[in-house]
Amino acid sequence: MSGAQRVWALGRGLGTTFGYLFRRRATVNYPEKERPVPERFRGLHILDRHDDGLERCVGCELCQAACPAHCITVEAAENDPERPVSPGERHAWRYEIDLLRCIFCGFCEEACPTGAIQLTPRHDLVGFTRSEFLVDKRWLTVPAPAAPGFPPDRAETGGEGGRRAG
């Protein structure tokens, strides 16, 4: 490569650099300002409740079977007739999702016959250790409405809910 070719290549490279210097920046000052997410974006999961406060999840384990990444663990237990957790005969006493393995495909949401598991537009998945991404039923479940007989929700206790304990 001759000297003139090198100078020409250097000039083209600097021209590209200076061209980007005066363009509008793509960086967003997150979290003060967020970019809008697409309408059908699939983000973090929640376990929804009925209007009366009972959990929608009946522990059928269809979401676990439909998950291609095998990141959902569901174990069902019988409902106590005096203090039911869900409207069915069973409820999910253990519901865990490994968010690092999840591919956010939405198959769990489609497989759920009761509409319990839903993917929200939230995308703020932050943590420093692997255990922070193993979320359990207490973290996933929407807080119960303020009604007599319901345990206090995570907003009232000041906690984040329950991440999986050790």
Q: Kindly report, residue by residue over 103-130, the tens digit of the pLDDT.
A: 999 999 999 999 999 999 988 888 999 9
Domains of the chain, CATH where assigned? 45-157 (3.30.70.3270)
User: pLDDT confidence of 29, banded at 50, 70, 90?
Assistant: confident
Q: How far apart are CA 88 and CA 90, in angstroms?
A: 5
Is the predicted pLDDT of residue 149 greater than 50, yes or no?
Answer: no
DSSP letter for each residue of 69-129? T--EEEEEEEPPSSS-SSSSSEEEEEEEEETTT----SHHHHH-SS--EEE-S------SS
**Length, in residues, of the chain:** 166
Q: What is the pLDDT of residues 39-90, one digit of tens each?
A: 999 999 999 999 888 999 999 999 999 999 999 999 999 998 898 999 889 9
Q: What is the pLDDT of residue 146?
A: 56
Element (H, E) at 6: helix 3-21
Which amino acid is located at 79 in the chain?
Answer: N
For tokens 């007989």, the residue is: 149
